[in-house]
Structure 1
Amino acid sequence: MTAQNSATASRTIAVTGPTGSTATAVSTATGASTGTGASAGPDASSTATARTATDPLPRGTLLAGLGVVAFSLTFPSTVWGLESFGPWSLVAVRSTLAALIAGAFLLVGSVPLPERRHWAGLAVVAGGVVIGFPLLTTLALQTSTTSHAAVVVGLLPLTTAAFAAVRTGRRPSRTFWFAAVSGAVVVIAFTLQQSGGAVSQGDLYLFGALLVCAAGYTEGGRLARLMPGWQVIGWALVLCLPLMAVGSAVALSMEPVHLNAHGVIGLAWVAAGSTFFGLYVWYRGMAAIGIPKASQLQLAQPLLTLFWSVFLLDESLPLAAPLAAVAVLVCIAVTQRAKS
């Protein structure tokens, strides 16, 4: 008697967000084979081998790399946007446009509404990632250089990891905490050296941005275990749409607008490139290549921002900036090894 057997293989992939938040994606592949008994037979083994051989590692690396490049352009694009818009207008219009793009993707994909129990977490993501971080960094970039901000915000992965440890109750190793504290000391020393021994208002904005964004990404990492990461940021954007639409109208009526090419390009990139496209390709790339390889790509982000600050903004780069950025990257690399 011939029986139709089904061979099902499941694979769990750990996914981390651009600042260290972690999610889990599960993919299941099912193949049918015909034979006798309970064994799936050699056909299933051949199918699994063929699937492994065609895993999209180069494509995943490309997608994750595009995400890193998109994030590295955020600060230079914000500076360009400030040439045409006031800080409040730029943030409100940026979030409104990004929310409209996200809403269109969710609508076309017929993505169902999140469960009611997830809305509080989405509000935390929205407050930290969609509103808090863009607003505070935009205010900081009115007085701070892009290179200065890149070094300070380079501490974000460590800040997020610390928030995640507190939120989840995990106990990272002493090596992890030593590297995290060392990175914080490097950034604080850099800000004091660059600000003449005192913390400037721009630095306060940047440190505040670190805290709210780390909280948002930590909560986003928790939610990304329950839904695709791009849907987390998509619904967080949509949640902010009514507030940001009203905010755009009010801010545009109060702040002068002087449109030029830089301003329009900057606004378009922070809305479509950094806020939506970057996160979308990042999460898809992470699902393909996993944590270790993507983490190594992420280490290039602060240095890329330093490059853009010189190439696009003609900023003079103090020697302390790349040195501090490299020191922070070393600390991040140590925490990655310690966590694994």
Structure 2
Amino acid sequence: MKLRSETLGMWLGVLGVAFFAVTLPMTRLATGTSAAPQLSPWFVTLGRAALAGLLSVVFLLATRSPRPQPHQWKPIGMAVLGNVIGYPLLLGYALRVVTASHAAVITALLPLVTAAVAALVLHQRARLGFWLCAGAGSVLVMAFSVLRASQHSGGFGFEWADLLLVGAVVAASFGYIYGAQVTPALGAERVICWVCVLALPVTLPATLMLWPAAPVAASAWVGFVYVGVFSMWIGFFAWYRGLALGGALRVSQTQLLQPFLSILAAIPLLGETLDVVTLAFAAAVVSTVVLSRKLSQPRALAPLSGVPGTR
């Protein structure tokens, strides 16, 4: 029975990561490109949170979930800033400029950055090997950015969109850490629901105000619905339940599949090609994450095992 639960948990974890991985190409479908814009990044950011918020209200009422305690609203609010506003907004603007495959390399740093944020915010101590891996991963991402910028412009420099992607990773990391602080008390599924509900008084009116006046491609609406229903909501249900059934430490390793699944999903959804250089850099960045986990003290980074993947 235990083995069966662990196996089910692993598959639910993979399902959650798959939902999160498709966020990148679906966000690009929703926002379009700088040459052919669709929905505005602000509308996608606030609208997806509003959609998830309405679904969360139904879930919380149906399960008769108790309200968070007063001291729990601050970390929930920080999760709103990081995961509801910061990450999707910066990602949306960046994906108007760079491909989903390009973004997958940068966002592959998320587990590593999340661990670093935990060390700073929660005053957890990490071994020197962890910080060396973090530095190596950062160097790889910078090298990839410079290479891509030189290929596009013929000069030496960075894509400005890469700065947005780095900001998105940092925002998501802070949101995950503060959300993880209240997860033991509220329950994993309820944390994302309360995060979305707390933002609802802002996101719902703003979504109605920003509703596009001009016609938008049907594919953009498909991308919008996906990031609202699956990336912002259902994906977390599968992910959190998988962590609970299969063991957080074991199931969290499925996060390493995310950049590769994002690259693969971008091929049929966006018509992007399978780029060997992008795959190589993604594999190198993921390798630094794997090595950092092996070199880190289990006690220091244990609270991060319940941290969700990139939405």
Q: Paired residue for 1:276, among 227, 233, 236?
A: 233
CA–CA separation in structure 2 for the residues paired with 1:175 and 1:306: 29
Deviation (angstroms), 1:246: 2.0
Asked whether the 8 Å contact 1:151–1:325 carries over to 2, the reply is yes
Larger fraction in helix: 2
Give the match for residue 304 of structure 1: 261
Q: Paired residue for 1:159, among 113, 120, 130?
A: 113
Paired residue type of 1:199: F
Task: Give 3-state SS (helix, strand or coil) of 2:186's partner.
Answer: coil
Paired residue total: 287
Structure 2 alignment gaps of length 5 or more: 33-37, 151-155, 299-311
* Structure with the greater alpha carbon radius of gyration: 1
Query: Would the alpha carbon gap of residues 169 and 267 (structure 1) be closer, same or farther in structure 2, given more than 3 Å must change?
Result: same
Give the match for residue 189 of structure 1: 143
Give the match for residue 23 of structure 1: none
CA–CA separation in structure 2 for the residues paired with 1:257 and 1:94: 19
Alignment of 1:40-189 (within 5 A): 52=2, 55-83=4-32, 84-189=38-143
Give the TM-score normalised by structure 2: 0.88
Paired residue type of 2:134: A
Asked whether the 8 Å contact 2:13–2:252 carries over to 1, the reply is no
Q: Percent identity?
A: 33
Deviation (angstroms), 1:195: 1.2
Asked whether the 8 Å contact 1:80–1:266 carries over to 2, the reply is yes
CA RMSD, 1 decimal: 1.5
Deviation (angstroms), 1:126: 0.4
Cα deviation code 1:233-279 (max 9, x no counterpart): 11111011011112112222xx5442333122111110001110111
CA–CA separation in structure 1 for the residues paired with 2:206 and 2:146: 34
CA–CA separation in structure 1 for the residues paired with 2:295 and 2:215: 49
Larger fraction in strand: 1
Give the match for residue 209 of structure 1: 168
Structure 1 alignment gaps of length 5 or more: 1-50
Give the match for residue 193 of structure 2: 234
Q: Paired residue for 2:224, among 257, 264, 267?
A: 267
Paired residue type of 1:166: L
Task: Give 3-state SS (helix, strand or coil) of 1:226's partner.
Answer: helix
Deviation (angstroms), 1:311: 2.2
Task: Give 3-state SS (helix, strand or coil) of 1:316's partner.
Answer: coil
Paired residue type of 1:93: G
